[in-house]
Structure 1
Amino acid sequence: MLQMKGKQMTFIELSNNQSRVAIDAKQAYSAYREAVRSARQYAGGMTWKSVNGSDYLIKVINRSGGTKSLGPRSPETEQIHAQFVDGKARAIERERSLKQAVAEFAGMSRVIGINRVPSMVTAVLRKLDAFGLLGKTLMVIGTQALYGYESAAGVHFDPGLMATNDVDFLWDARATLKLALFDDAVADAGVLAILRKLDKSFDPVRQQPFRAVNKDGFYVDLVRQTPNPPWRRHEPVRIAAGDLTPSWLQNIKWLLSSAKFDAIVIGQDGQPAPMVAPDPRAFAVYKHWLSEQPDREPEKRRR
């Protein structure tokens, strides 16, 4: 039992079998993520193209079909082509095999009850991770971060403290992000566009431009540290021009300045996802401070 100034937070340790499956599932997913990243270097393709009677090795280098010549046919370029074809085949097979392993562990996770995190939360985490926003640009704060901490500790916290139908992301406005590398939708609308790739029903909430909600009433909120001074102009207002506008929060710099905490969590559908949250010590200090603020909603203070 975790105690802090008269408050208690109950938890249950995982059984040996639950711990074993959790470890194996996380390792399989970590290997799968690495396989996906490795396979990206083979994106596009490589082919021979005849120009004025001579063959040239051509590589597709971007989503819009841009190409780059690697030179005329020669023993060197033939070796480059052969290595590319072989490497791509091996990368595809490794990704396929590990994806199957992740799916098998997902079933086991559901059976033994380590599937904790709402599936929409883990789906959002995976999608943000795929676009490179999770960690460097965004991290989870609020109640959902507890799933990351319990996963690392090998325990389950009291479900009553975890129940919520939203997820909050802290945006680090200091981070640089080249949205032009993504497709047009993400370049134009950032996080909102990514959410809509997951669920087309996500829309901004009127009068609350920092939040999006889907047809099932699931909310995604963006927050940021209040600029100091507030009228400072050199920081961007939002991630992309058509994106959500993060809400300003005081003293969130405590979380921005803390070390990032990485964990693998398991969704209610059994599928794992990466989670990046603040250092749990900084999180606890911030939450304690927040609970003592006079304008804090009473039902949220115990969280």
Structure 2
Amino acid sequence: MNKFNYPAFDKNQNLQDKLPMAVKVFSDEQARALINLRQRYEVWIEAERGLAKLPYGLARKEVGGRAYLYEIRDRKGNGKSLGPWSEAFAAKLDAYRREKETLKARISASKSALDESASIARALRVPMIANEVGPILREADRRELLDGALLVVGTNAVVAYALEAGGFIRDLPDETADFDLAWTETDPQQDAQIVWDLLKAVDATFTVNTERSFQARNAKAYEVEILAAPSRAANMARTDRPRPIPLPEQEWLLEGRAVDQVVICRDGSPARIVAPDPRWFALQKLWMSEQSKRHPLKRGKDMKQALLLLDAVAEAMPHYPLDEAFEAMLPGELAPYYLRWTEQRPDPRSPRW
């Protein structure tokens, strides 16, 4: 194996002077804005989830001279009868209307506060993700898919790692022209088109790429790729789309403890990202950087991203320890990459706290 591209160091020089810190710590204002963003996002999304769980609509309808309570499914008024009208149904309809109005009021009030926090964070130039990612992540969170069904596994995860580190990760590539999600559901799904319904709810123009069945594209050619570990791929319903190709290396991203952060898009809108444990993410990237199946133009970015992220974990994420216990967990494919990093990186820098 070739050595990683770390610069040469003069052992007589102070490493602190030779190499900048991996993480540039957020200012007090930036940190405060991100804390407020998270708190206000959680209030807003809780109300959004509550509204999403309610029926699209309930209404009293008369058919053939008799009254019924109908559950409305869509804007066209399609629905089904829940049974003949009764006092119990009258109370059910009143309770539904009250709850719906209460949730709408909470959403409106919390959205105003959330927009204010997002605007402040954007003005303070905190790390941001592409605009196209936001609507998909918000809809996924509204459907509670970020808590076990889907994981952000591509470059968009980098912004979440920066927030986890409490600052900007030096020179870490964070731009991408597509969006990678991993299917991680542990319970087998039958006929539910969970991923496809999500994408179509965000943008009705999404279609499956017939040449790459794991990829969907919208009318603006924005691409969403669905990946999966072999242990999870079979849990997706056979009718769901896009269809992920089981990749053994995706198993590594299920290890450890996921990162969970609320970020903002470049347009100032908020989104929640749940991403793999940064240690496993970085080591998988190192492994990918030397795989012949990987696109040659992506290998260099993979290595740079991985090395910088490992440095940031070592420097600013003590809650993700890089120690003997972690090393003992590594499979044979990843252990050599971790050892090379520990041997070739500069000596650990002084803690920043």
Structure 2-normalised TM-score?
A: 0.66
Match runs of 1:1-303 below 5 Å? 10-48=22-60, 58=69, 60=71, 64-69=78-83, 72-73=86-87, 80-114=92-126, 116-158=128-170, 160-172=172-184, 174-177=186-189, 180=192, 187=193, 191-192=195-196, 194-205=198-209, 207-214=211-218, 216-226=220-230, 235=234, 239-241=237-239, 243-293=241-291, 296=294, 297=296, 298-299=299-300, 300-303=302-305
| Matched residue SS, 2:129 | coil
Q: CA 1:223 to 1:53, structure 2 compared with 1: closer, same or farther past 3 Å?
A: closer
Q: Which amino acid aligns with 2:81?
A: T
CA distance in 2, matches of 1:46, 1:205: 38
Q: CA 1:115 to 1:123, structure 2 compared with 1: closer, same or farther past 3 Å?
A: farther
| Matched residue SS, 1:110 | helix
- Which residue number corresponds to residue 231 of structure 1? none
CA distance in 1, matches of 2:144, 2:223: 21
| Aligned residues of 1:119 and 1:267 also touching (Cα < 8 A) | yes
CA distance in 2, matches of 1:55, 1:200: 36
Which structure 2 residue ranges, 5 or more long, are not aligned?
8-18, 306-353
Give the paired residue count: 283
| Aligned residues of 1:123 and 1:198 also touching (Cα < 8 A) | yes
Give CA deviations for 1:12-38 in whole Å, capped at 9, x if unaligned: 221111111111122111111100112
| Aligned residues of 2:207 and 2:217 also touching (Cα < 8 A) | yes
| Matched residue SS, 1:67 | strand
| Matched residue SS, 2:24 | strand
CA distance in 1, matches of 2:149, 2:82: 31
| Matched residue SS, 1:23 | helix
| Aligned residues of 1:44 and 1:62 also touching (Cα < 8 A) | yes
CA distance in 2, matches of 1:275, 1:209: 24
Give CA deviations for 1:29-83 in whole Å, capped at 9, x if unaligned: 1111100112234434445567999977x3627555123249732xx66655544
| Aligned residues of 2:129 and 2:175 also touching (Cα < 8 A) | no
CA distance in 1, matches of 2:64, 2:204: 48
My pick for the range that moved more, 38-47 or 15-24, is 38-47
Q: CA 1:53 to 1:217, structure 2 compared with 1: closer, same or farther past 3 Å?
A: closer
My pick for the range that moved more, 268-277 or 249-258, is 249-258
| Matched residue SS, 2:187 | coil
Cα RMSD (Å) of the superposition?
3.6
| Aligned residues of 1:117 and 1:267 also touching (Cα < 8 A) | yes
| Matched residue SS, 2:268 | coil
| Matched residue SS, 1:142 | coil
Deviation at 1:256, TM superposition (A): 2.4
My pick for the range that moved more, 258-267 or 23-32, is 258-267
CA distance in 2, matches of 1:216, 1:79: 47
Q: Which amino acid aligns with 1:222?
A: I
Q: CA 1:69 to 1:156, structure 2 compared with 1: closer, same or farther past 3 Å?
A: farther
Structure 1-normalised TM-score?
A: 0.76
Q: CA 1:163 to 1:88, structure 2 compared with 1: closer, same or farther past 3 Å?
A: closer
Give CA deviations for 1:244-275 in whole Å, capped at 9, x if unaligned: 22133223212224444322121111111121
Deviation at 1:223, TM superposition (A): 1.6
Deviation at 1:168, TM superposition (A): 1.3
CA distance in 2, matches of 1:106, 1:91: 21
Q: Which amino acid aligns with 2:304?
A: R
**Structure whose alpha-carbon radius of gyration is higher:** 2
